[in-house]
Structure formats: C-alpha cells, structure tokens
Structure 1
C-alpha cells in the first residue's frame, strides 16, 4: 500500500490573520526533497477561511482522498511538511497517510506527522497539519428492491442512508449481469434519508436483471450500493380451451 502522492504540502499565511493558503508541493524534476519550495514546484490555493483549529475539508487530489489542513487557532502561521512516500495503515475510524522519516509527537491526535525542523518557517506540535485518507463508510447509498415490475418495466429504488454532511448526486446502474452496462442520469440534491427511483421501461419479459444505486460527491467520489436482482414478469398467455372428452366425428358420404 505504498502510493507516490505529492512531495508534501505547506500551509502559508493568507491575505490576513483570518485566512490561510496551502501549497501542494511537487518536484517535477527541478527541485529537491530538501528544498522544493525554493524551486517553486508547487500549486498554491486561493485564500481560504482559517477554521480556528478545525479542518479545511474537500481539498481533493485525483478524486481519491481529501487533504485536511489543521490551522492555527489564531493566525495562519506558515509550516512546511515535506514528504516523499506515504504509507496507508488502519488507524481505527480513518486511514492515515504516514510519511517515511522521523516522527515528532506521534501520539498526538492519534496520528504521527513529519516535523520538518530545517524547512519549516514556523512550526510546532499544535500549529501544523496532517494529511488523511478520508474513507467513507461502506454503505452510503442503499439499493432497495425493485417495484412495479411488469414484463417490460420496473422501478429501481434507493435510499441515501448517510450524507456525511455533503449533498449527493445519485443514479442507478443496471443490466443483465453484475457488470451492468447501463446507467440512469444523475439526480442532484440528495441528503440523509432521501429516497430516489427511476423507471426503466426497455426490459425483456421473463428476464433476470441486476442493478445497484450509486451516490457521488466531489469529496468522496462515487460510492456503490449493494447489487440487487429481480425478474421481469412473463407475458400473459391468451385463454386456451380443452375438451373434457373425446370428440366423435361421424363421417358421411
């Protein structure tokens, strides 16, 4: 589980004491691990509100995770955290990105982070930052049973069980196998407890179909509900008649 990610990040002062910026540090062949900031190998954000010791959330990198910056309670003091490789490990509720290198105050807040004494312009255990994998729970969107089944149609149903303080888009994938192959349009604006559905009216009679709900946000990407299967109805046959006793037909000449 070693992932080459970025070389680090730097939290810097914003336009005033109420704002902060961050830089994603990337060497891109011109800087060095010791001093990539001098080579300007980074992408800098715009001003962000300083959250008073809390998180600035939803800083997304390659749709895989959220970067979280823990700011100073009072000012946006500059601090550098320079990393090379990150190691993903299970730390209970979340998976933390750990950097190779020396650790400083590793037990604080349940996470160890690299303390770059030589490169930081100002840093302290309580004024710094960390990077975390934000792993959503296994179930956010729940796939419910199909309803209203006919020979050629069915209503696919789902519920958004936990919005994780985000507003979600939802849809369904469906098809004859668990590879699906068909997708309904995204529906926007869903939160905890909301139900959603989609009528599919291009089905084949007497056929097994699979579907699952999907939910997505920018922060968490696309999450899948469980697979659910259903049969479409077989078409009704016309009325038939049977004779209860043999027919005796007399041939005449």
Structure 2
C-alpha cells in the first residue's frame, strides 16, 4: 500500500505511539487525520503535519462517524486506520482489603480500548470500502490496531487492561477475514515497554523505568515510539501482512508483578 496521496486516521494521535505514527505516515505523503481528546496538543500536531484534528471519544458512535467523515472530506482516499487510543487501569480482581474490582472502571477500560478500537475499525472500513482498489489484488486499505503484551501475559492488577487488549488480539483474524471481501487488511501490534509520556509523571521516573527495563532481553532499554511507528508503517506497506499479531517488546516476558 503506497502511503503517498492516501488518507489516514490515527487515533490517540496527539501523543506517544499515535503521534509518532502520525508523523511517520505524514512523512511518507499521507494526509493524516488525528483523533484525540487532547484538543490543544492534537491541533498542534495536526498543524505541523498539514493534517486535520478531530476531537473524538472513540467509544462514541456519532463522534467516530464525524471523525471518518472528516477524513473523507479531505479529498484523499481513506486507506489507513491506526488505532492507538487507549487508557490504562490497575486494580486487583479482589483487592487486599477484600473489596471486589470496581465494575464501572472495568467497563470504562473495555469501552475505550476494545469497543473504541472496534468502533473506529468498523466505521472506518465502511468508508474505505467506497474507495477504488489500488492494485490487481483488489486492495483498498489497511487497519493497524494496538494491543499490548499484557494481552498475552498480563500482570497482577491488569485484569481490565489485559481483557481489553486481549479482545483486540482476539478479533484480529476474524476481522481480517470479514474485511477481505472489501480488500482491507488487519494486523495488530502488541507493544511491550515503550518510552512514552505516561511514565514522565512519576516522581521517580528514572528509577521506575529501570525496573521496567529489567526483564527486557535485548536491546536493554525501553522501546521508542519512532520504532513502533516504523513497524506500523511496515504493516501498511507490506501487502502480504494480514491477520497477524506481532509482539514488539525486545523479548520481554512479564513476571506476575
């Protein structure tokens, strides 16, 4: 899939993995529509890339439809969707004090991470289906979803987060099979420990990062958002990659805590 002249949607595009991916796609000639709740930062990034910003809660059907409509309105054929919007949560199924996991917070994580990913994929793919194929294979577009290694080996307190990301992993192949009829490929990346702004808010950020890096096999560091973005672009550009779940984690295997 050639990115030059294509339209792309990147959710969570105002920071971290999403921002890095938006920059990568734009550098290859794509017109990027950034979806995020951070309006100030989202507009700044979109302006820098010559793209468009849309404030969007990915779990809201009307807001996602408006997002996709904005992408179509750019005049560039919508070819790429990268889902990287998400939230984290830490809570045990039964806490140390004997209280059960809060159900509302569990639902919220599922709504944003899992339902939000599916919401953008389904509405975005419907728009991609209206474009003309780009090659003799009948290819029209690509969806890259973001899960986590926590989907495969979640740690203590990650039951909500791992459930949401595991759902993304689980829908990868069925979605790829569903969307094959309209020439859309679907792949999922499972990042490990990536150096994003989420870790900068801790007072002992450097010490905390060192602990996170300890189980990484090689290279002995956190992943870089630019490396994630490079992989996302490769999944878009490599036309034979479909229905795959790719670990991106430096060989890390999570311990229980």
TM-score range, shorter chain: under 0.3
The TM-score normalised by the length of structure 1 is 0.25
From the two aligned structures, give the one with the greater strand fraction. 1
From the two aligned structures, give the one with the greater helix fraction. 2
The TM-score normalised by the length of structure 2 is 0.24
Q: Is the radius of gyration larger for structure 1 or structure 2?
A: 1
